[in-house]
Amino acid sequence: MDPSTKNRILTFLDTHYPHVGCELLYRQDYELLIAVVLSAQTTDQAVNKVTPVLFERFPSLEALADAPISAIESVIQTIGLYRTKAHHVKAIAQQLLSLHEGRVPSDKAALTALPGVGIKTANVVRAELFRIPEIAVDTHVHRLAYRLGFRQKKDDVLVTEKKLRKALPPERYILFHHQLIHFGRYRCTAKKPMCSTCPLIDLCKEKNKNL
């Protein structure tokens, strides 16, 4: 991608999404970690409906670690893969207490060793909690990175992450991640994106996509 095109994309994102951030609700570090794990293949909106109830009913890591799986399932059953995620929630609470003194670790290897935590989740947590420059490639970031020309269609999420890291200075990683999420969530959607009013339409590899 030539510098002028990249600058045009960044200027557009800065103009329309200058102060965007994480939309998941949380108060404590472990609440964010659990919310991100719950958000896999589920919308943030759906997660935000269940986490306040979950953390009110089980107001500490100890309470979550001791909670019956069925009790956790009953709270989060409206989100996808809730049975698997209920096991992850309980196991995460147990391991944070037994291995990390009740705190979410900042180390990527330690994070990805926790149940249900992959690279994307670890990157989100490291960026949000510790302000470590990371780009978490979720479905929106992956889609927009292709449409805007940062990656090739064949690239998987790991290759996409590497290409975005190379294309951007580290100080842009966190904001760029959130900007692409908001652009992809509310405008350049997977199905029926708002192409007719998009000023970047001439750059798009999927112009006027209508699935």
Distance CA 142, CA 69 (A): 33
Mean of the per-residue pLDDT values of the chain? 95
Predicted confidence band at 5 (pLDDT cuts at 50, 70, 90)? Answer: very high
Residues labelled catalytic? 120, 138
3-18+136-203 folds as Endonuclease Iii, domain 2 (1.10.1670)
The size of the chain, in residues, is 211
Quick: pLDDT tens for 58-111: 999 999 999 999 999 999 999 999 999 999 999 999 999 999 999 999 999 999
Pick left, alpha or beta for residue 149 (phi over 0 → left; psi -120 to 50 → alpha; otherwise beta).
left
For CATH 1.10.340.30, list the domain ranges present in the chain: 29-130
Max Cα–Cα distance, the chain, nearest Å: 55
Where does CATH 1.10.1670.10 sit in the chain? Answer: 3-18+136-203
CATH superfamily of 29-130: Hypothetical protein; domain 2 (1.10.340.30)
pLDDT over 90 percentage in the chain? 94
pLDDT band at 210 (very low <50, low <70, confident <90, very high): low
pLDDT at 1: 87
| Digit-coded pLDDT (tens) for 36-73 | 999 998 999 999 999 999 999 999 999 999 999 999 99
Choose among 166, 162, 165: nearest CA to 174: 165
- pLDDT band of residue 211 (cuts 50, 70, 90) is very low
pLDDT at 207: 82
